[in-house]
Structure 1
Amino acid sequence: MSRIDELVREMCPDGVEYKPLGDVGEFIRGSGLQKSDLREQGFPAVHYGQIHTYYGVWAEQSKSFTDEMIAAKLRHAKPGDLLIATTSEDNDAVAKATAWVGDTEVVLSGDAYIYRHTLEPKYMAYFFQSTMFHDQKRRFISGTKVRRISAASLAKIKIPVPPRKVQREIVLILDHFTQLEMELEAELEAELEVRRDQYHYYMSSLFDDLILQGASMVALRDVGHWYGGGTPSKSKSEYWTDGSIPWISPKDMAVSTIVDTEDHITEEAIAGSATKLVPTHAIAIVARSSILNHTLPVAYLSRSATLNQDMKAVTAASGIRARYLFHAIRGYRSDILRRVRRAGGSVASLDSRKLWDYKLPVPKLDAQERVIELLDHFESLTNDMSVGLPAELVARRKQYEHYRDRLLTFKELSA
């Protein structure tokens, strides 16, 4: 850090100017490129979804390409431009950005912006990752199911603009730090993946043994009471302002236990909408979301909550322990998704009739208790972000975020 500190003291002792993004660049909307236009070779092309799933802080080669004739009709990003995905299902991923540092131009799909600017490309991309950027961005995000941000709003966000030499030094340090973090995370992720594979193999064997031992096969419609969800009107402030009741949507389902949610509603919202209060110890699943293209999220409710219209939840029936039901649904979720996911449609969803017909093994209570004890232990070792390898991953990421934010924070130049 001393190298940056010395440069800042030498080159900007009175601080640096903070400028709106609209003053240091222009936002150009991507357009026209469809997933069906992507090829394995041709003209470099980036679909906005790939910014979320494939690209990091910067890229010099594209994952996909398109035909030259298609590319000729589209807007082109130039080397040094930022590629920004402007829509997402969660707030954190809105305006995820990648600096294009390839030696050719690239075309970009809709739901994205090309940002042509005057700063160091990677410096700009690192800023888009920073807490400073996210704190400013949140007040401009709109939409309910699909979250988005406009070019006019992005243009208002302020960025510190130190001298070019300082920008380059920050990039060098963050590139080095990022490489070290990636190498360490790869090692930890590999070991964690081995543990997860062991957990899933053990869990599968455990349920197979229950079936062999004569456990009853019970259809999901009969394992308990099911709840659907709904979205209270966004136009009624009394439904949302100062709400304290968790409102679960797919973006909250990245964890195995729901402790809290991003959005909250009021008791008036429950009384005036289709959403219902789901009691604690229920099991929530995602019923409609693009995430169902590859994963069926399942989470245990540690507190009462409500659901949006893309969710379902179930409370265990008499004779079934809630934690057993959680582990059983989670254990069979890949097979459930394979058998129950609805074909076609613009957004992946579950076929309710097939879901209710799907059967799980339900043994006697003493066997359920043994399953709970064993799988709670394994689940904590592989998924609990407060212990073991996952905790180390979290600690490393927080350390990286701390130093990145420190490097991107400057004393503001007095007017």
Structure 2
Amino acid sequence: MTEWPYVRLSEVCEKPQYGAIAKGSAEPVGPLFVRQTDIASGRIKWSSVPYCDLDPSEFEKYAIRPGDLLISRLGNGVGNAATVSETRSAVFAGYLVRFQARASVAVPEFLGYQLQSKAWRQHVAGFRSGAAQPTLNAQQMGDFQFTLPPLGLQRGIAATLSALDDKIESNRHIEDLVLDLAEAMYVDECAQGSELLLLKDSGRWLSGGTPSTSTTEYWGGDLPWISAASLKSFYVDASDRTLTAAGAAVATHIVPAGTVLMVVRGMSLKTEFRFGVAQRDVAFGQDCKAILPRIDSSVLAVALRANRETILGLVDEAGHGTGRLATDRLERLPIEVPTDTRFAKVADSLLARGTQAARENHHLVQFRDALLPELISGRIRVPEAHRAVEEAIA
């Protein structure tokens, strides 16, 4: 294997910077406001980014630019990182830290992939242990060590992995597009005729739970355990934590594909309503609710999406910046169900296309994550990896 020098992140970057203190808003009151919850798989999920009313004199100080590395410093998402890839009128929030690569020694996209590696996750985990509220300061981030190949190889590695990420991003665009189309068609159908249904009557409601985290035989199985932190996609089929059958049996429910899952407690509720449809059997934590639908699952999901702003208006404060959706308030929410039953088939077809894109992404992400350590360590050469990527995205 090629011998590349070990460096610290701080040695190949300019002085890190903490983000702006501001409040997110759905209204375009100022620049876009990138938060830790807007980071997914190494990129910024711009569709979820709110605005903020930032003093214009502060904009240049916090404005993000292509090549910026943003790292979450607090909470369940601590250590999550994204590389800014496009120019937007946007600033970054105070729970994020910005690193900027020194162009003479490091390629920012390569550094971004280092921050997706197992070595980085292990580095972060060393500071999470035993902490009630995990934190990571800029100095601790900067102490991360990794191998640094020459600039030309850094560019080649980044370009190879970016080809996969571009395909993943394209599929995510399809996922969002079919949801937008389904929602628009739902609104049109309801205008033609609909019946009101209280959300509590749309299906059987279930609460989740968390098995003892100190009992090792409960964790690490094949069953995804969905939490407020991991429910980020409409198409729910994976989580960063998994349960064994024994773990699920003692503390939570297992729900089948087609179940609608919702976050009812968490920091994300201050700015967005997270929900999705299970694509396979999953378990879930106490910060989520599940509905086993009595009406068509796709219709229920699209109806929730069309009412997400109304639902956000039901959120109250649970303390320490945590939002809460009280079950009794949510159950009383009236939703419209189109009287034309043909809409259900249309919605099913559209969401099936989104599911297809999401499943392809699941495999592409697994492939990328397997390729990443081989490339950045030099165990696989760029030309060999490039051929494998071309086959994967063909």
- Give the SS at the match of 1:332: helix
Residue among 339, 347, 362 paired with 2:310? 339
Q: Does the 8 Å CA contact 2:120/2:144 hold for their aligned counterparts?
A: yes
Query: What is the rounded CA distance, in whole Å, between the counterparts of 1:244 and 1:192 in structure 2?
Result: 25
Residue among 327, 335, 339 paired with 1:352? 327
AA aligned opposite 1:279: V
TM-score by length of 2: 0.64
Q: Does the 8 Å CA contact 1:87/1:146 hold for their aligned counterparts?
A: yes
Q: Share of identical aligned residues, percent?
A: 13
Is the alpha carbon distance of 1:301 and 1:129 closer, same or farther for their aligned partners in structure 2, counting shifts above 3 Å?
same
Match of 2:278 in 1: 300
AA aligned opposite 2:378: F
1:135 and 2:118 matched: yes
RMSD: 5.5
> How do 1:18-57 and structure 2 match up within 5 A?
18-21=5-8, 24=11, 33-35=20-22, 49=36, 52=39
1:407 Cα deviation (Å)? 6.2
- Give the SS at the match of 2:146: strand
Q: What whole-Å deviation, never above 9, does each CA across 1:26-83 have from its counterpart, x for those lacking one?
A: 897756842169x969xxx997649849x969xxxxx997687x99xx99x9xx9955
Larger radius of gyration: 1
> How do 1:153-168 and structure 2 match up within 5 A?
154=141, 157-162=144-149, 166-167=150-151
Query: What is the rounded CA distance, in whole Å, between the counterparts of 1:49 and 1:308 in structure 2?
Result: 21
Match of 1:249 in 2: 227
Query: What is the rounded CA distance, in whole Å, between the counterparts of 1:228 and 1:258 in structure 2?
Result: 17
Is the alpha carbon distance of 1:149 and 1:224 closer, same or farther for their aligned partners in structure 2, counting shifts above 3 Å?
same
Unaligned residue ranges in structure 1 (runs of 5+): 1-13, 58-62, 100-106
- Give the SS at the match of 2:255: coil
Is the alpha carbon distance of 1:295 and 1:120 closer, same or farther for their aligned partners in structure 2, counting shifts above 3 Å?
farther
1:19 Cα deviation (Å)? 1.2
AA aligned opposite 1:123: V
Is the alpha carbon distance of 1:264 and 1:243 closer, same or farther for their aligned partners in structure 2, counting shifts above 3 Å?
same
> How do 1:234-273 and structure 2 match up within 5 A?
234=213, 236-238=214-216, 240-266=218-244, 269=247
1:85 and 2:72 matched: yes
Match of 2:384 in 1: none
TM-score by length of 1: 0.61
1:312 Cα deviation (Å)? 0.4
Match of 2:202 in 1: 223
- Give the SS at the match of 1:232: coil
- Give the SS at the match of 2:262: strand
Query: What is the rounded CA distance, in whole Å, between the counterparts of 2:169 and 2:256 in structure 1?
Result: 36
> How do 1:9-408 and structure 2 match up within 5 A?
15-21=2-8, 24=11, 33-35=20-22, 49=36, 52=39, 83-87=70-74, 89-90=76-77, 94-96=80-82, 110-113=94-97, 120=104, 123-130=107-114, 133-139=116-122, 140-141=124-125, 142=128, 149=136, 154=141, 157-162=144-149, 166-167=150-151, 170-171=154-155, 174=158, 196-209=179-192, 211=194, 215=195, 217-234=196-213, 236-238=214-216, 240-266=218-244, 269=247, 275-281=251-257, 282-292=259-269, 293-300=271-278, 302-303=280-281, 305-316=282-293, 320-321=294-295, 324=296, 326-341=297-312, 342-343=314-315, 345=317, 346-361=321-336, 370-385=342-357, 408=376
1:194 Cα deviation (Å)? 6.1
Unaligned residue ranges in structure 2 (runs of 5+): 45-51, 86-90, 381-394
AA aligned opposite 2:119: Q
Q: Does the 8 Å CA contact 1:24/1:117 hold for their aligned counterparts?
A: no
AA aligned opposite 2:277: A
